[in-house]
Amino acid sequence: MINRYSLVDDESGLTIGKSLDLVGLTGNLIETVGDEDFHKITLIHFRYNDEFVAYCKEKKISINNIEITILDHEENPIGSYYFVLRESRSYDRLTELDEVLTQFELVGDLFPVATEESLFIWNMRRKPLTKTNEWVGLSPKQQIGWLEVARLYRGIRLHSHERQNGIYHIDATNIKDSASFYCALGEAVNGPGGYYGFNLDSLADCLCGGFGAIAPFVIVLQNIDHEWCSNEGYFQQLKEVLADGNVTLVYS
């Protein structure tokens, strides 16, 4: 069976282990200790990684901060959420490391908390996207989840492929609001499932470099919904951010 999640020690970078599934990534499991509430993550059918076990045998180790990593269909990491344990977990009982744990629980603080919609999108992206516009049939909430996943997806920073003076064409037929605009913009710049901001502030960050296209460049919006443009105050703010970032917006 294919593992869907892994735990990575933030300090050593070692993969602690992998699991077939987990619950709690949406923050729906809460454990109260004293007067404080903490997130609880339960990994299903968890097995420790051989390299991590060997490392523990060489030296006493304790874990404090963890990356909860989403794996693709080949068990490669494609994204992660940060988890700070309430209490350090020490590995001085090596017998535990040889076991397959039916349920392995973590208690602490999760950053950020995933949405149900983003988990749905992560499952879509366990296999590489080969076509654009797969976000079009999603609900508005799922499109927001699409943007969260695009932002967290491994490899979104394209320093070695930064492009200047590009022209990016967007068929705006399916743009109805700001979320659908950023879904389309991310793909126009960086291909299927690509990322280039999810709001005005993050768009301004992308314009500073590190996310594929760097100014100056041109965005061409074709088949735009003029009713949305005229009624959406956001569109005017968008034009101002692009202009300040030395991006030319052409629409018809």
Q: Residues 167-179: pLDDT tens digits?
A: 999 999 999 889 9
pTM: 0.91
My answer on whether 122 and 84 are in the same domain is no
My answer on whether 142 and 216 are in the same domain is yes
Q: What would the 3-class secondary structure string for the chain be?
A: CCCCEEEEECCCCCEEEEEEEEECCCCCCEEEECCEEEEEEEEEEEEECHHHHHHHHHCCEEEEEEEEEEECCCCCEEEEEEEEEEEEEEECCHHHHCCEEEEEEEEEEEECCCCHHHHHHHHHCCCCCCCCCCCCCCCHHHHHHHHHHHHHCCCCCCHHHCEECCEEEEEHHHCCCHHHHHHHHHHHHHCCCCCCCCCHHHHHHHHCCCCCEECCEEEEEECCCHHHHHHCHHHHHHHHHHHHCCEEEEEC
My answer on whether 145 and 217 are in the same domain is yes
pLDDT digits (tens, 9 = 90+) for 193-243: 999 999 999 999 999 988 989 999 999 999 887 766 766 678 889 999 999
Domain residue limits at 124? 117-251
Domain end (from 71, 90, 114) = 114
My answer on whether 101 and 180 are in the same domain is no
Structural domain count of the chain = 2
**What per-residue confidence (pLDDT) applies to 35?**
93
My answer on whether 61 and 141 are in the same domain is no
**What per-residue confidence (pLDDT) applies to 17?**
96
My answer on whether 131 and 241 are in the same domain is yes
My answer on whether 85 and 131 are in the same domain is no
Domain end (from 96, 114, 132) = 114
